[in-house]
Chain A
C-alpha cells in the first residue's frame, strides 16, 4: 500500500485517509485493524444505474450505513417547464425517467386535462393504456437485463435488451422515436396509430409470453440467482410505508396497492387484471413479482386491443387540439398537403388558430392538482400549479425512484458489500428520474 504523499498533510489525528488502487485490500485491512471504513461506490460504477454515488460505512465487509448521494444528472426540468407552454411540457417530462417516458407524458397530460376539465376520446385512452403497458414490460425487461448483468448473467442482459428492442420498434413505428416520444399530448395523442398497429401488437403478444417463460426457466431455479437474491435487501411493509416506498417493492412486501386499481385513470377500470403480491419481501420476491407484472400487463393489452374503439384521438375543442396534421408522403411523415392547402389557401381563421396555438399555446384555468399514475417503479405523481396562463406556474414531480432510493440504507444495513449491488438493482432506480 502506498499512502499518497499529497494526502499526508490532510491526515488529521482522528481520521486515517488511505488512497489505494486495486489489489491493495490486504494492506488496507492491516492498516485499519478494526476501525470502520468509509468508501465511495460510484458515481462512476457499472452497477449504479447511471451516476449514483453511494457512501458505504463498512465494518469488515458488512455495511453499517449507506448514504446515497444524488444530483449528478440534475437538469432543472421542473424549472425549465415554467418558461415553456403546456404543450412543450410533454417534451421535457418524457426525458426524466427515460425508461418509462410514456408514463411521464400521460401523468402530466392527465393533470393538465384535469385542470382543463376535458375528457380524452376513448380511442386515445385505449392507445395510451396499450402503450403504457408495453412500456412497463420494456422497463421491467431493462431491469431484468441490467440486474442480471450486475450479478454476472450476461446472457440475461442480451436477452432482456433484445426483447426490449422489439417493444421499442413498436414505439418507433407509432411516434417516430425509440425513447422520449412526446407522443401523448394534452387532449389525446400526437397522431392516430398506424394501420399495422394492431398487427404489430399481436406479434409482440405472441412473442413476449414465450420469451418471459424462457427467462423464468433460466433464472427461477438457477442456484446462483437464488443464492444472490434470496433474503437480500429485506424491506417489510411497515418500513416500506414509513420510507414512502411504492410500486413493486411495496407489493413484494404483501401490500396490494396499485394506483391502476385504487384511482383508475385512462379507463383502467374496464380491464380485468390482478395486482400480484409476494410476501417474502426480499430481492427474489421482487424478481418473481416483476415477471408476474409483465404477464398482467399483457393481459391488459389483450383486452384493450380486443375492445379498441374507433374515432378521433384528439379532443374536438379547436382551442386545445394541436392543429397540425401529419400524413405519409413520398419522403416520410410530414405536414399533410390537404391541411396546408386549407390553412394557406382557404381559411384565414384556421391559419390564425394554427399560429396562435403553435406559438402561444392554450391557457389553463388557475388551480392546483395532483395526479398520480402507477409507473413501473411506483407512484409517479405530478403536482401542477397553474395561475391561468399559457405556461405552468410550477410543476413538481413525485418521482418513485427518488423516494424509493431512501430505503437503500435500511435495506443494505447488515449485508455484505456485494449485496449492495443487489439492493440497488432490486430498487430499480433510474437516475434521470431521481435527479430530474
Chain B
C-alpha cells in the first residue's frame, strides 16, 4: 500500500464567495494590465500570454481567491475577416453582430474554481492563429496536461513547456487541426463501391438530398 497524505487544509464550502466585482478587483489591483469583463453573470479576465502563468499562480496561491481547481481549458478559433450577422437584428431586436479582424486569433479559455469559497471565473488568453503559442500551465495545475494536448490537437496551439505535447484524440498521422474554422468540413473521398463525392455540410444542396 502506498503512503498518501491526509488532507491538511480545510475543505468544503467553509467561506462565502467573493462577489464578481470583488473577484475582479482582487486581481486587477495586483495586475493592472488585466482587463475584466462581465456578461451573463460570468466574470472573464483578459490576460496577455506573457502574464498567464503569473496570474494563474497568483489565483491558486492567494488566500482570498483560493482557486485550487482548474476546471476546464478550451479553445475557440476566430479567423481573420469580417463577421457580420444581420439577420438577428430584424427578427429579434438584438444588436447586430459585427466583428472585423485583421489577424485571426485563437482564444484559450481557462475556468478556475475555488473549492472552499464557491466562486469561479474565466481567464481568456488570445494568440495569433498563424503561429499560435502560449506558455504551458502544467507546472501550476497538473490537470492542464490533457487539456493542453487537446487544444494542441484541435487548434495547433504550441504550449511551451508542456511535458508531452502530442495529439490526444485525433490519430497521430492526422493532418491539420480539425477545430479550426479553416479546416475543411468534409469533401473526403469515400472508398466504397458506387461511392459519391460528399460535399461538406455547409456546401450541400438541400434539393439533392431530397432527390
Which residues does A use to contact B, with CB under 8 Å?
Answer: 70-71, 74, 76, 78-79, 83, 114-115, 231-232, 234-239, 241-246, 253-257, 261-263, 279, 281, 319, 363, 365-370, 372, 379, 381, 383, 385, 387-389, 393-394, 396, 398, 402-403, 405-406, 413-415, 435-436
Contact = CB atoms under 8 A, between A and B. Distances in A.
Contact of A398 (B1, B42, B72, B179): B72
B57 interface: no
A74 B201 contact: no
Contacts of A367: 39-40
A360 to B, nearest CB: 9
Contact of A234 (B2, B92, B147, B179): B2
A388 B94 contact: yes
A235 to B, nearest CB: 8
19 contacts: A71-B171, A236-B7, A241-B68, A242-B142, A243-B143, A244-B143, A245-B143, A256-B12, A257-B12, A365-B88, A366-B94, A369-B42, A370-B42, A370-B122, A381-B111, A383-B111, A389-B88, A402-B146, A406-B142
Top-6 shortest CB links A-B: A244-B143, A396-B74, A237-B7, A398-B72, A231-B1, A255-B11
B168 A71 contact: yes
A370 B143 contact: no
A394 B155 CA distance: 12
A398 B168 contact: no
Interface of B: 1-2, 4-9, 11-13, 39-40, 42, 44, 68-72, 74-77, 83, 85, 87-88, 91-92, 94, 97, 109, 111, 115, 118, 122, 141-143, 145-147, 167-171, 178-179, 185, 201-202
A215 to B, nearest CB: 26
B94 A255 contact: no
B146 A255 contact: no
Contacts of A235: 4
A372 B71 contact: yes
A381 B13 CA distance: 20
Contact of B4 (A239, A262, A319): A239
Contacts, number: 147
Given A74-B169, A241-B68, A383-B109, A79 B1 contact: no
Contact of B185 (A70, A83, A257, A366): A83
A387 B72 contact: no
A396 B147 CA distance: 11
Contact of B97 (A255, A279, A366, A402): A366
Nearest to B151: A396
A292 B65 CA distance: 32
Given A83-B185, A257-B12, A263-B118, A379 B71 contact: yes
A281 B42 CA distance: 33
Given A262-B13, A398-B72, A413-B2, A365 B115 contact: no
Contact of B7 (A255, A398, A402, A414): A255
A370 B5 contact: no
Contacts of A398: 71-72, 74, 111
Given A242-B142, A366-B97, A388 B88 contact: yes
B162 to A, nearest CB: 13
A119 to B, nearest CB: 14
Given A246-B69, A368-B42, 13 more contacts: A71-B168, A115-B40, A234-B2, A234-B4, A238-B9, A243-B142, A261-B13, A262-B13, A368-B39, A385-B76, A387-B83, A387-B85, A387-B97
Contact of A394 (B12, B39, B76, B178): B76
- B4, B8, B77, B147 — most chain A CB neighbours (10 Å): B4
B97 A79 contact: no
B179 A236 contact: no
A78 B7 contact: no
A281 B3 CA distance: 12
A413 B2 CA distance: 8
Nearest to B144: A244
A405 B2 CA distance: 19
Nearest to B14: A256
A104 B12 CA distance: 26
Contact of A436 (B2, B75, B76, B169): B169
Contacts of A114: 40
Contacts of A243: 142-143
B44 A368 contact: yes
Contacts of A262: 13, 118
A367 B44 CA distance: 11
B40 A363 contact: no
B127 to A, nearest CB: 16
Contacts of B122: 368, 370
Contacts of B146: 402-403, 405-406
Given A281-B4, A381-B72, A79 B115 contact: no
B71 A244 contact: yes
A82 to B, nearest CB: 9
A253 B7 contact: yes
A244 B143 CA distance: 5
